Structure 1
Amino acid sequence: MKKQSIIFSIILAVFFGFQSCDIDEKIIDEASGEDLLTNAEPLTLLAPAYNNMRRVYGHRWFFALQTFSADEGILPTRGSDWFDGGVFQELHRHDWGSTHRYTTETFGHITAGLATATQAIGSLEEGTQEHAEAVGLLSHFMWVALDAYGQVPYRGITDINFSDDPQILKGAEAVSTIIANLESVMSSLPTGKNTVRFTQDAAKSLMARVYLNKAVYEDRYASNFSFSNEDMQKVIDLTTDVISSGTHDLETDDYFSMFDPDNENHPEIIWSAKNEKTSVRISGRSVSRNTTNGLSRGLLYKVDGGWEEGSDAGCTLPEFLDKFDSANDPRYYKENYPNEAGTIPLAQYEINRGFLEGQLFGIKTEDGAAVINDDQTTIDIVPVQLFSRDLSFANHTRDVSLIAANQSVGVRVSKWSIEGLGANRDDTGVDIVIFRLADLYLMRAEAKLRLGSGDALADVNAVRVARGGSGFAIGSATLEDVYDERGFEFYWEYHRRTDQIRFGTWEDTWTDKTDTDTNMRIFPIPPGPVAETPGLEQNPGYN
């Protein structure tokens, strides 16, 4: 194992019960010095970088930046609730500044990820699987930084010296470095199915995503992006390698199963950030918060006047909903129990999924637990009331605005599962999906259309038929069709902002958003890092 030439502080993480798919960690000590690295287990060195991926993908960080700034999501101020200093309104209106709380915090989580991955690279033996994984994780943190902020603090993957200032990579240099690093470790990355470790298929998926967006990253403020034939062919080749490997399969039975607590090693998922349902909370970083923030507070009604934890926060936009074939698209809504008052078998209960519109109904509870009827096999479904002063009912209408008329307006989104019948916010086993096979089919379809060669329709219909059967196929596929399909397929999954910029809809108008400033295509660098890091510059349009 290599030693770094500089002493630095690390958090020593010890894995327990490690299996081929497990990367659980338990923080036990903090110390300084090179001696900790000398005898550390490889997986111990990898743990902080994997853990930081959860932080980046937390519900208030990369998720909020990708979702509430786009045309799929809005987090209104409801009375005095959810104003939060205006941070969500600013995201939606595209008038955030350089000190915006969540752009600042997300940048901090990304740079922490870059640091922990770089530390692991400098301490692991080149040529090993663990070293290759660390380079893969670093490359992914680099991509998030490039996509969201346009600048990547980088220390390299050889001869790392933490006493030197990092390089600041931008545009073409950042793209080429990410690609070169992934190519350099490809043969050392594991093959086969493992959704919580960085594999060759994860690397190929990331490379395809970088090539697909390369024209954006190299000319961020262009009026029209020039997607080169060479880049599009790279996307086609990389996605074809993964699709043709037979390692992953499109989900054909239950679309929402990919976002359930047992989604680790789901056939369609290529790579995800691992979550574990334990007694240790991770400060709101779990993906289930994306669901509870899309539900009404008090989804699980208590007859004693108490309320389950949840949130009356985010919802989707009418313009986005209007694109769906809501009557036939199984991704729009899944009814697990009738949304009406009545009695159902206890074993049948699971929250309804997808877009929740109109009056909501949920299970009757007391003191945080479901009220099981005397027969011990059934529970009652009752109207859901909102957590508000007047205890109004949750009747979610499509019409919504940044200053909401009441707590009920706005269609909620329940894509990611909430576990069990009780409150669930932070402690969840739902892994955060980063790459899945449908994305590769639709990336390949888009690349074929931009290249002007290949059967894009077959790729789009591969996804649609998997979701809704042969009758759900379409007869032709344009770039607009691919763009819409990505909205149907990946809503609430961290894609929308990136897709809107690439397809040229980012400066469009939607509910309460009229800004057309192209500077808002990337977020500001926080003032602190700008002042402290040579070469790191504030992005155009920000003070």
Structure 2
Amino acid sequence: MKKRLIILIIMMVSVFGYQSCNIDENIIDEARGEDLLKDADPLSLLAPAYNSMRRVYGHRWFFALQTFSADEGMVPTRQSDWFDGGTFQELHRHDWKPEHRYTRETWEHITTGLANATLAIDFLEAGTQEQAEAIALLSHYMWVALDAYGQVPYRGIENIDFNADSQILTGAEAVSTIITNLELALPNLPTGKNTVRFTQDAAKSLLARVYLNRAVYEDRYASSFSFANEDMQQVINLTTEIINSTNHALETDDYFSIFDPDNENHKEIIWAVKNEKTSVRIGGRSVTRNTTNGLSRGYIYISPDGDFLTGSDAGCTLPDFLDTWDSDNDPRFFKANYPNEEGTIPLSDYKVHRGFLEGQLYGIKNDNGTPIINSDQTIDIVPVQLWTRDQSLANHTREVSLIAENQSVGVRVSKWGIDDIGSNRDDTGVDIVVFRLAEMYLMRAEAILRSGLAGNALDDVNAVRVARGGVSFAKTNVTLEDVYNERGYEFYWEYHRRTDQIRFGKWEDSWTDKTDTDPNHRIFAIPPGPLATTPGLVQNPGY
């Protein structure tokens, strides 16, 4: 009991967005502390399990593993910037080692989340909504561990013994346990819409993902995957229930609004990791960094609080990925928020462009990084000049390499809204979208095409495309390759690409500065520390 109590007290100092947790720091009697925790507000017990998700989905953790190892992104070394011990180059080339910093830290964040969710399950009353949420959150952490590392430390959800070693679940056992737990939690989860709490639709979304990828998780190194019709029928059933629930609707006006600072309870979002912009660091490791780290130094933007900030010229996308797009006609590719040409506009009208930032960029006129505001509260828009290194213009070319020619090369990605408190802060009000309705349509289309079961894959793909670009944007036929590409257009920079490339048999392909074909790299190495201290963990093949 002592071990369990100490861990829970540490766990409860976390803060979960709208719920602050306070406990008496002077608890010294173990029995009294146990009673206090049993009587604690259920949200206080549940909060840390939600809060840990922010770390897992942080910009250098699961995001980096899913994005910078895939064909949609890289972080080039730009002169002396962004070498970072080779971490980003290793992710991109697929030659990471067990000691890799971000694969190690991601594992640490996942296992912290597993512990927090397990403790919440143990203390919360069985059969309550809060315990069902904790079981669903545990299942989500288990899914991330399985997807990225192929091994899941697990203590069960009843009669939990915190002094015993965890089980280590792999393959079919891990899949079936996640499914069983989610199905157990489902009846006690709420049926309505709440984008920052686990609902029945969120649990069904996770179930659909697990069934869609089951063939991969149960035969990780197969030369090709055999998707069972029974699994694909489950995907069809679950996604249909979500689509027909009418709790959610596809965004038809502004695709990028899904990723804006006020995106909580957006009509398309099913579940997101809650962030909150506040003087307390509770929105940290945010998706805002996924955008600001990719903007050119000198590409000055205005935060919602009116502060002028600059980018840091890190991440960009690859020509291989861009070449799959109909960039002239797809509204998801680029949204201009002011004329991309010289001129003068009201200061209040300036918002960073969204989507892919290609070619010569225009932005606020400045003097050595200091913006110039005219007396009439207008600003001059001019070609952006980089204010570091060689003072060249920010002309972002498609061609890029891991050792970048200069600070400018590489098309930048500005998908997630910018909502900083200040320079080098992670706080944001942009919730990290995990499940949204468009994914349900595209998962259902994929399951239909993989199985030949009843359904209309073309209608599902077109439901998404018409929502984005109108009737003229619809396709006349659809194949699995079309679904793969459509997922790229729809979910770029959203933590999907690595998983998608593996499932579609694209992971061993070559793209810019990546030629590795080793199927062992479909999952990451178990870090040395946990490997040495956790009974049952074994190193994954190839490491």
TM-score (norm 1): 0.94
Q: Deviations over 1:420-475 (max 9, x none)?
A: 79757412100000000000100000000011132100000000000000000001
2:14 and 2:51 in contact (8 A); partners too = no
Partner of 2:322: 321
Q: Deviations over 1:307-352 (max 9, x none)?
A: 8343110000001001111111000000000112211123321100
2:103 and 2:524 in contact (8 A); partners too = yes
Residue 324 and residue 425 in structure 1: after superposition, are their counterparts in 2 closer, same or farther (change >3 A)?
farther
Q: Does 1:121 align with 2:121?
A: yes
Matches within 5 A, 1:139-154: 139-154=139-154
Partner of 2:451: 451
- Between the aligned partners of 2:470 and 2:172, the Cα distance in structure 1 is 41
In structure 2, runs of 5+ residues without a counterpart are: none
What SS is found at the alignment partner of 2:270? strand
Q: Deviations over 1:222-271 (max 9, x none)?
A: 00100000000000000000000000000000000000000000000000
Partner of 1:289: 289
Matches within 5 A, 1:354-369: 354-364=355-365
Residue 446 and residue 383 in structure 1: after superposition, are their counterparts in 2 closer, same or farther (change >3 A)?
same
Partner of 1:538: 539
- Between the aligned partners of 2:345 and 2:287, the Cα distance in structure 1 is 28
What SS is found at the alignment partner of 2:272? strand
2:276 and 2:282 in contact (8 A); partners too = no
Q: Does 1:311 align with 2:307?
A: no
Q: Does 1:341 align with 2:342?
A: yes
Partner of 1:380: 380
In structure 1, runs of 5+ residues without a counterpart are: none
Partner of 1:396: 396
- Between the aligned partners of 1:280 and 1:194, the Cα distance in structure 2 is 23
- Between the aligned partners of 1:489 and 1:434, the Cα distance in structure 2 is 13
Instruction: Give the aligned residue type for 1:393.
Output: L
Partner of 1:23: 18
2:364 and 2:380 in contact (8 A); partners too = yes
- Between the aligned partners of 1:371 and 1:24, the Cα distance in structure 2 is 41
1:8 and 1:34 in contact (8 A); partners too = no
Instruction: Give the aligned residue type for 2:332.
Output: R
Q: Does 1:475 align with 2:467?
A: no
Matches within 5 A, 1:40-189: 40-189=40-189
Residue 36 and residue 379 in structure 1: after superposition, are their counterparts in 2 closer, same or farther (change >3 A)?
farther
Partner of 1:463: 464
Partner of 2:199: 199
2:347 and 2:379 in contact (8 A); partners too = yes
2:104 and 2:526 in contact (8 A); partners too = yes
- Between the aligned partners of 2:253 and 2:131, the Cα distance in structure 1 is 37
TM-score (norm 2): 0.94
What SS is found at the alignment partner of 1:7? helix
Q: Quote how far apart the aligned CAs of 1:364 are.
A: 3.7
- Between the aligned partners of 2:20 and 2:106, the Cα distance in structure 1 is 22
- Between the aligned partners of 2:516 and 2:183, the Cα distance in structure 1 is 39
What SS is found at the alignment partner of 2:5? coil
Number of equivalent positions: 532
What SS is found at the alignment partner of 1:505? coil
Partner of 2:353: 352
Residue 41 and residue 27 in structure 1: after superposition, are their counterparts in 2 closer, same or farther (change >3 A)?
closer
Q: Quote how far apart the aligned CAs of 1:415 are.
A: 0.2
Q: Quote how far apart the aligned CAs of 1:128 are.
A: 0.7
Instruction: Give the aligned residue type for 2:104.
Output: T
- Between the aligned partners of 2:262 and 2:368, the Cα distance in structure 1 is 27
1:310 and 1:424 in contact (8 A); partners too = no
**Percent identity over the alignment?**
74
- Between the aligned partners of 2:196 and 2:163, the Cα distance in structure 1 is 32
Instruction: Give the aligned residue type for 2:515.
Output: T
- Between the aligned partners of 1:28 and 1:356, the Cα distance in structure 2 is 48
Partner of 2:259: 259
Between 1:333-342 and 1:480-489, the stretch displaced more is 333-342
2:275 and 2:282 in contact (8 A); partners too = no
- Between the aligned partners of 1:301 and 1:123, the Cα distance in structure 2 is 46
- Between the aligned partners of 1:340 and 1:24, the Cα distance in structure 2 is 46
Partner of 2:6: 8
2:204 and 2:239 in contact (8 A); partners too = yes
Residue 470 and residue 422 in structure 1: after superposition, are their counterparts in 2 closer, same or farther (change >3 A)?
farther
- Between the aligned partners of 1:39 and 1:292, the Cα distance in structure 2 is 43
What SS is found at the alignment partner of 1:115? helix
2:369 and 2:387 in contact (8 A); partners too = no
Q: Quote how far apart the aligned CAs of 1:360 are.
A: 1.3
1:219 and 1:225 in contact (8 A); partners too = yes
1:310 and 1:425 in contact (8 A); partners too = no
Residue 389 and residue 247 in structure 1: after superposition, are their counterparts in 2 closer, same or farther (change >3 A)?
same
2:194 and 2:270 in contact (8 A); partners too = yes
Partner of 1:226: 226
Residue 5 and residue 29 in structure 1: after superposition, are their counterparts in 2 closer, same or farther (change >3 A)?
closer
- Between the aligned partners of 1:38 and 1:301, the Cα distance in structure 2 is 48
- Between the aligned partners of 2:100 and 2:87, the Cα distance in structure 1 is 7
Between 1:35-44 and 1:162-171, the stretch displaced more is 35-44
Q: Deviations over 1:127-162 (max 9, x none)?
A: 111100000100000000000000000000101111
2:341 and 2:362 in contact (8 A); partners too = yes
Between 1:281-290 and 1:202-211, the stretch displaced more is 281-290
Matches within 5 A, 1:399-438: 399-419=399-419, 423=423, 425-438=425-438
Instruction: Give the aligned residue type for 1:147.
Output: D
